[in-house]
């Protein structure tokens, strides 16, 4: 018997769970959010039970709530998966700058010890 289940479909994260968690932790007023989104309050309440959701809806919720639900979903994927976003090199740049500064300070300390020793 052939298995027609899409690869990894059993591992799909539940977007409704992310939204429900956000609503609970941030004590979100669903009626106010519904007015901002121009939808019925029942629609906003229904977001908590949805297993999947259109990208536009997730995007709009993220903008209105100032919370990156897309990143929450992306963090569920393995780290080795490729993306189109540029690599964040700020830490490596900061480390390189600090190492350069450290070498300079070591040289200055050596000169100061030499001058003080005389």
**What does the pLDDT look like over 41-97, one tens digit per residue?**
999 999 999 999 999 999 999 999 999 999 999 999 998 888 888 887 899 999 999
pLDDT at 32: 95
pLDDT of residue 28: 93
pLDDT beyond 60 at 1:
no
pLDDT of residue 2 exceeding 80, the answer is no
- The answer for 8, left when phi > 0, alpha when psi is -120 to 50, beta otherwise, is left
The pLDDT value recorded for residue 3 is: 52
For residue 28, give every residue at least 6 positions away whose Cβ sits within 8 Å of its Cβ, in sequence order, or none: 22, 65
Three-state DSSP state, 16: helix
pTM over cut 0.75: no
């Amino acid at each position: 018997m052939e298995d027609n289940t899409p690869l990894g479909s059993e591992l799909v994260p539940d977007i409704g769970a992310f939204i429900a968690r956000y609503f609970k932790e941030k004590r979100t007023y669903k009626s106010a959010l519904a007015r901002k989104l121009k939808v019925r309050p029942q629609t906003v309440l229904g977001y908590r039970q949805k297993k999947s959701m259109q990208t536009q809806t997730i995007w709009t919720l993220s903008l209105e709530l100032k919370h990156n639900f897309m990143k929450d979903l992306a963090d569920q994927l393995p780290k080795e998966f490729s993306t189109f976003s540029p690599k964040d090199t700020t830490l490596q740049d900061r480390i390189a700058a600090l190492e350069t500064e450290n070498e300079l300070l070591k040289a200055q300390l050596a000169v100061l010890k030499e001058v003080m020793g005389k």
